[in-house]
Chain A
Amino acid sequence: MIGSDIPALIPITFLAFAVLIPLLGLWKRHLSYYWAVLGATIATGFSALGFYNYISGSETIRYFFGGWEPPVGIEFVYDGLSGFIVLVINTIALFVLIHSRLIGKREFPGKVTGYYSVAMLLMLGFNGMVLTGDLFNLYVFLEISSLASYALIGIGEKRAPYAAFRYLIIGTVGGSLYLLGVGFLYTVTGTLNIIDMAAMLPEVIGNSAIITALALMVAGIGIKAALFPLHGWLPDSYSYASSTSSALIAPIGTKVAAYVLLRVVLYLFGVDIIDSAIPITDIIGILAGIGILYGSVMAIAQSDLKRMLAYSSVSQIGYIIMGISLANPFGFIGAVLHVLNHALMKACLFLVSGNLRLKEGHTDITKFDDSYRKKYPWTMVAFTTAALSMVGLPPLAGFFSKWYLALGTIENSNWLLLSVILISSLLNAVYFFRILEKVYLRDPESTDEKTGIISSLTTNEVKPSMLWTTSIIAFGILAVGLLNAFIVSAIVTMFPAGL
């Protein structure tokens, strides 16, 4: 039965294509794109099938590699949460890869084969991180995805390699810190399997090694998730990378790291242990709150669209982490829902910026004007949808994750974080309406001085493969908003024990 093998099949698909693409690239290089899309399609199909099985009532799948049961062997755990995240990231990756063909030809013409191979490795790493049930294995996948993302970010404009190098240094430190934390946990429990360890941790509660481990792991994952104040690598990396790389990494990468944080904090440790010695959830919550405000304020100060989106990511990741730190059902729903919503919104926005960069050659906000609306009507509709959703206007998706997060803060009577959510929505409105105002209202500078008539502009929309992917994701934002009751009722079944 294929159903029970799905946890292994998804990463293996990506691994296979990561190897196949360079091999087939020797034969016909321009086909790499299609192979990558094919790989992502197959993986997305498996994810969808797995999640369908989960929805229709099948149990959590624990897949033991080579039949070795833990603690000896490595296991992959396909439960509701990991299945959901895998489905989200693979779907987004599929759309971004479909979208990437022309950008690839333009921005890294000679490196297409390598690029798609590395992209497959990246997805292998992300899927492995989500699915694995073993802490050390998680580290390995973390490093695979990180190495791939350093390489992908390095392929970009002139400044990209330096940004990638900085990310490499910071990211490796993060991975090492995480590994150190795992070492501490291993000395205490003697196992690396998440489920085994979660069962053992309550017995050794109060051990100072556990607190050290937790702090190290949170710091390490926090770097990967760009939790304030560990976000320094993110703005440069996202804004200098190639459009496709940022569209691929921005919606997925930090989300997966946030997912790992959620696993570690809520599933592995559980709320009771975490707060027994130091109020670490409160600390994370406050950091997330500061990050949300900081990211939004910095986003307002940017004049480049991609850089603005990068800072906006810092802010949005704060929402997810805030949801984790609330450690109550509403916070959990909000966090998981925001993983989906933000992945959709950021993918849409980065794809739009990719469209603009391909057509206009820049993403400088100060140069945006009325002509964009005429030239790229549908791209701008997609942008508007995503922007309004980021601001949190119902019935778009972004509203609902904020709604659950707000309910979560209210449940904890945490008025401070509630006001953070509200204020940041306003700040989001500031930086998105600033652009919308330019795009829809500002008279273009290309106005003919003699006649005063705008030089004739016709629709100059991007190619269908790019337009449709952007539009479908934008439509997805609306659909997720309207249908979020179904998604939430699925998320409710994923609650970790003790919540």
Chain B
Amino acid sequence: MVDFVLGHYAYWFTIILLAIGLYGMLIKDNLVKKTIGLSIFQTGVILFFVSIASKWGATVPVKSDEFPVTEVANYMNPLPHTLMLTAIVVGVATLGVAFALLITIYNRYETLNEQELLEKIQ
């Protein structure tokens, strides 16, 4: 059990990060804080992908004479890395749209606090 917990500690940190992100999105009233929570949440997912690609004793998937690797299994899996490049870009795009909406909301209601916003909407 201890081995399981320790051996997968990256998973646990991922889960904690996801939880923090969710907390930010659900509990915080400020819309910017919600966005920050969103960003943390997405980072958690990216971290998860990167950690599933990493192995003990393996090296970066770069062919180089300085890191002689005899077996292919000693390289890390590069595929999740490439996927995460896309995911990071998607995340930034999401944040961009979010900020555009935030600015519009602020211009219309002069507040970014959800409670005040709901009162003003009514």
Contacts and interface: CB of A to CB of B under 8 A. Distances in A.
Contact of B80 (A146, A150, A186): A186
A150 B90 contact: no
A183 B52 contact: yes
B108 A176 contact: no
A463 interface: no
Interface in B19-71: 22, 25, 31, 34-35, 38, 41-42, 44-45, 48-49, 52
B45 A162 contact: no
A183 B98 CA distance: 25
A140 interface: yes
Contact of A162 (B35, B100, B117): B117
Interface in A149-201: 150-151, 154, 158-159, 161-162, 164-165, 168-169, 172-173, 176, 179-180, 183, 186-187, 192
B93 A183 contact: no
A159 B94 contact: no
Contacts of B104: 154, 161
Contacts of B93: 143, 147
Contacts of A161: 101, 104-105, 108
A440 B80 CA distance: 60
B97 A136 contact: no
B6 interface: no
Given A147-B93, A183-B52, A186-B80, A176 B98 contact: no
Nearest to A158: B108
A154 B83 CA distance: 29
Nearest to B25: A169
Given A136-B83, A173-B25, A150 B45 contact: no
B80 A173 contact: no
Interface of B is mostly: helix
Contacts, number: 76
7 contacts: A151-B100, A154-B101, A168-B97, A168-B101, A179-B49, A180-B45, A192-B79
A186 B90 contact: no
A165 B38 contact: no
A169 B31 CA distance: 10
Interface residues of B, number: 32
Contact of A168 (B49, B83, B98): B98
Interface of A: 136, 139-140, 143, 146-147, 150-151, 154, 158-159, 161-162, 164-165, 168-169, 172-173, 176, 179-180, 183, 186-187, 192
A176 B31 contact: no
A162 B22 contact: no
Most buried by A among B100, B101, B104: B101
A176 B91 CA distance: 10
Contacts of B94: 143, 146-147, 168, 172
Given A169-B98, A180-B48, 14 more contacts: A136-B83, A136-B86, A139-B87, A139-B90, A147-B97, A150-B98, A162-B101, A165-B31, A172-B42, A173-B25, A173-B38, A183-B45, A183-B52, A192-B83
Contacts of A151: 97, 100
A490 to B, nearest CB: 35
B97 A179 contact: no
B102 interface: yes
A182 to B, nearest CB: 9
Nearest to B44: A176
B2 to A, nearest CB: 19
B121 interface: yes
A75 to B, nearest CB: 15
A185 to B, nearest CB: 11
Contacts of B102: 165
Given A147-B93, A169-B25, A162 B41 contact: no
A321 B27 CA distance: 31
